[in-house]
Amino acid sequence: MYSDITKYFEISPRVKEGLVNSEPVVALESSIISHGMPYPTNLEVAKMAEEVVTENGAIPATIGVWKGKIVVGMDEQQRYEISNKPGDETTVAMKASVKGIPFAVIQKRNAGFTIAAILRAASIAGIRIMATGGIGGVSRGGEFTMDVSADLEELGHTSVGVVAAGCKSILDIGRTKEVLETKDVPVIGLGCDSFPAFFTPSSQYRIDYRIDSYDEAAEFLRTKWELGFQGAAILCNPVPAQYAMDQEIIDEAIRKATEMAKENAVGGEHNTPFLLDRVSELTGGASLRTNIEVIRNNAKTAALIAKSYWNHR
């Protein structure tokens, strides 16, 4: 870590030990705690993700801001205090992308991190693998609104492997894939031949390359970065078929949710949480259950890839 910014970071003892000893560490997102899921499901899922990473031989590092410190490896109390629990003012947390981190720090705020912020903080700390649900991307209608997630820009220059179930199908998957192409971010299909659509394991959009083993995925990352090719790689890990949603049901829910967002003039960083909430309501909670299984599956896969990455360096 750069010595001039260590005063802004708090790295948990176990994560620090792992980084010093070149053990596999997996970065985990915190926006699902602060904004992505309702209380108390948000805390249950965050704890589950950490347990899955540990069970599969890696060290979990949930990253966010707590009382003005960028914490790499949040403990249970810190996770609670960014949970936005209704009625508890001690748990109020903002949502921060990279641009919001300095504000959260100087204001001594709590903050859940977007993927872009996790990427940046993980990279500074020396973590090479992260697990998330689905990456951000181009919003539907983004060709007119220019509503494009900062995740895509960050992916273009920050060297972390991102295990994700593609991008959320509330987004414009085709245009998201095109932006990734422009940024020269490789999209790897882990045992799949198309870009996963988060709630469903496939879409009409292509991946760049298919890789069928965790060892080869780790070797791809090592080779990319050893060649000096900076930037992330998306490791697409489709939702297991038994937890996938029916295509027609999810498409109709997304269509209705998108209309509601337009009617309520919702945009920017509020768009994705709004759409996910509405889709969950419209599907009777089915989309949330799928989301949970996506997190579980990606946490496991990220841990196994991280193990291979560090064991073969």
The answer to pTM > 0.85 is yes
pLDDT at site 269:
67
Nearest to 80 by CA among 91, 71, 70: 91
**Per-residue pLDDT tens over the stretch 195-209:** 999 999 999 999 999
Rama region for 30: left / alpha / beta (φ>0; ψ in -120 to 50; rest): alpha
Return the residue matching tokens 């960028």.
70
pLDDT at residue number 148: 83
How long, in residues, is the chain? 313
> Given CA atoms 290, 155, 187, 308 in this order, what sign does their dihedral have?
negative
pLDDT digits (tens, 9 = 90+) for 60-86: 999 999 999 999 999 999 999 999 999
pLDDT of residue 76: 98
Q: Give the residue ranges of the chain where pLDDT is below 50.
A: 1-2
Contacts of 55 (CB under 8 A, 6+ apart): 300, 303
16: CB partners within 8 A, 6+ apart: 73
Rounded-to-5 percentages of helix, strand, coil across the chain: 50, 15, 35
For residue 91, give the DSSP letter. Answer: G
Q: Could you identify the residue written with the tokens 């820009």?
A: 153
Q: Choose which CATH entry (3.30.70.20, 3.40.1790.10, 3.40.50.720, 1.10.357.10) describes domain 128-313.
A: 3.40.1790.10
pLDDT score for 2: 44
**Within 10 A of 144 (CB to CB), how many other CB atoms are there?**
7
CATH number of 1-126: 3.40.1790.10
Q: Is there a shared CATH topology between the 1-126 domain and the 128-313 domain?
A: yes
Quick one: which of 298, 259, 265 has its CA closest to 279? Answer: 259
Domain spans, the chain:
1-126, 128-313
Classify residue 198 by its DSSP letter: S
Q: What is the pLDDT of residue 279?
A: 87
| Measured distance CA(313)–CA(170) in Å, rounded | 38
Residues assigned a catalytic role: 29, 168
